[in-house]
Amino acid sequence: MSNAFPKFSKINPETIENEIKTIISENLTKLDDLLKNNSNYTWANLMAPIDDMSDKLSHVWAPFSHIHSVMSSDKVREAYNKCIEILTEYHTEFMQNEELYKAIKFIADSKDFESLTDAQKKIIENDLRDFHLSGVDLNKKDKETFASLQQELSKLTTKFSENILDATKAWHLHIEDENLLDGLPEQSIELAKEIAKQKNLKGFIFTLHHSSFADVMKYLKNRELRKDMYEAFVTRASNDGPNKGKWDNTKIMEDILKLRHQTAELLGFKNYAEYSLKTKMAKTPDKVMDFLNELADKSKEYGKAEIKELAEFAKKTDGIDDLNAWDLGYYSEKLRQAKYDIDQEKLREYFPCKKVLRGMFEVLNKIYGINIKEKTDVDVWHPQVQFYEIFDKDNSLRGYLYMDLFARDDKREGAWMDECQVRRTLDDGSVQLPVAFLTCNFARPVAGKDALLTHDDVVTLFHESGHCLHHILTKVDYMSVSGINGVPWDAVEFPSQFLEFWCYEKEALNILSSHISDDKPLPQDLLEKIRNAKNFQSGYQMLRQIEFALFDFKMHLEYDPSKEYQVQSKLDEVRDKVSPFKPPAFNKFQHSFSHIFAGGYAAGYYSYKWAEVLSSDAFSKFEEKGVFDFATGQEFLHNILEKGGVYSPMELYVAFRGREPKIDALLKHSGIN
């Protein structure tokens, strides 16, 4: 079995461009040879060598691309941008190669096609579809136009992401008077003090990294400072706020939409939403819109009532007559404590990071029978990174996991999973095992102590681990349908959201939690409070997600090339329809909406809610059988996690659940009737 890990300490941004160029040149020469010296194409003499070529490139690019996300620098960024241009050109050229398309179609039309495995057939079907979506049918001039559009899009999406990182790093809140910190938790104050010391400043520094920002918004009593922090956060990379126009994504967003629309039209689609749905479960825009509108209709009254309750609470508590966006987090936390007597910061004391990790591994063992063991003699990119081996119940090694949990200035915000290496069978018959990256941005440990996680952090960790297991536990041995590859985008979030449910179960929390003073697990009364508070403001939160999803989908569905500056007007239109609370005019959340402007969720953000229907309904089977029912865990493992992208998600879901999913479980788990 192959397990050669990247040498992160040897990665050199000054040589990566030449490495990528060399591999691409070799790949194109090999492809030319494959197509010239053949007339009877088969899996063995065409598809298998192409898989080798893709894997060879991935082994160099995946680690460097990851470094760009987690250890960015000027040199890394410069090299990444050069390579992205080269790679975009290569992939476009590859997917517009008519000879290659005809060769793969030859296999699809041959009598040998039926003798191929399901995975091999699926790869060929996907490839033929993707050739059309990449413009193989276009004339020479239109192919050149398509290639130009892809190049420009890759530059703009990268720039969008870099602007957010630069804007996030450029601003901080500096407080010298400790009396102004009233309400903040001790861990937050200690971290702010440490950051100030690192910058050779007196007092305390609060940054726009989410862990720091969230604590200020939830706990800081000083309303004016909350407003300052809020304004800086929601105007990042925009034409408003304290760094107005400095890393402005306004035109970049408009240009991205324009280029996507042109791409879709060039390929014969009315809009980018239609183009996007060609690779998803939901096949028509109407299906997506009906789904989102139904959820909005069921949630709207709940959301309105929750905001009304919050406004009344703020007035009663502090005489606030004008509830503002920078008050929502603060009074929501106060109201949560008042209603459920639950203090999120006290909860941290039950979730030391090391205990949570050990506990999560035990929970995963109980569900899937896997064992996760740390390995320390591995080259990593930062001292905080941990590395694990993953074994199944038969003690067979299934794959590996890099885990990078804490926030840094040179690290992209958010939490995500990415591929380092994909499972596949090699030429010698051995199996290359999958390797995943798990990245979060939790508040880092201070003063040599273990980091304390919020319960929300624990949920995030489980979510990203669900993605990683989907990648690692696959038993598919072909790269492009192995793990999460080939899985329709609106089903990708299913295994990750599914795993979140264990963060609210007594049996799991007994394993995950341990108080820092006496090692006792979360007591029953706090556990009940967490469960009771789980659906606190769930109507409002549901509507927030629907707002993002509708904004994304309608923006791509209804784009009008004759109009300028459609992003803000489309967002305003959606907010008028579904939002129970209007943010201030200076709120430019869209300028840092990486999921759709720099990630893979364009015209696909609805996937989070779509997959929640699957995950809620799937977990209801565990509620029926028992949350640690091993047989049900094995059914999920064998029917969902191991199958990769070979079969349709609905087919796999029915195999696991015995029927198609119902929306009822999602509404029930969200406390919406």
Identified catalytic residue from 345, 464, 612, 635 = 464
Q: Are 465 and 364 within 8 A, CB to CB? A: yes
- What Å distances lie between residue 405 and 301, 386, 534, CA to CA? 37, 9, 24
Cβ density class 116-143: b for 16+ within 10 Å, e for less: beebbbbbbebbbeebebbbbebeeeeb
Residues in the chain: 673
Active site residue 464: yes
- The one-letter amino acid at 7: K
Distance between CA 236 and CA 169 in Å, rounded? 10
Q: Are 553 and 277 within 8 A, CB to CB? A: no
- What Å distances lie between residue 624 and 246, 494, 618, CA to CA? 54, 19, 10
Distance between CA 190 and CA 174 in Å, rounded? 14
List the structure tokens of 371.
């064992």
Distance between CA 368 and CA 469 in Å, rounded? 10
Looking at residue 660, the DSSP 8-state letter turns out to be -
Mapped onto helix, strand or coil, the DSSP state of residue 421 is strand
Mapped onto helix, strand or coil, the DSSP state of residue 31 is helix
Mapped onto helix, strand or coil, the DSSP state of residue 302 is helix
Strands 431-432 and 386-391, bridge-based pairing: unpaired
DSSP string for 334-355: HHHHHHH---HHHHHTT-BHHH
Looking at residue 638, the DSSP 8-state letter turns out to be I
The set of catalytic residues is: 464
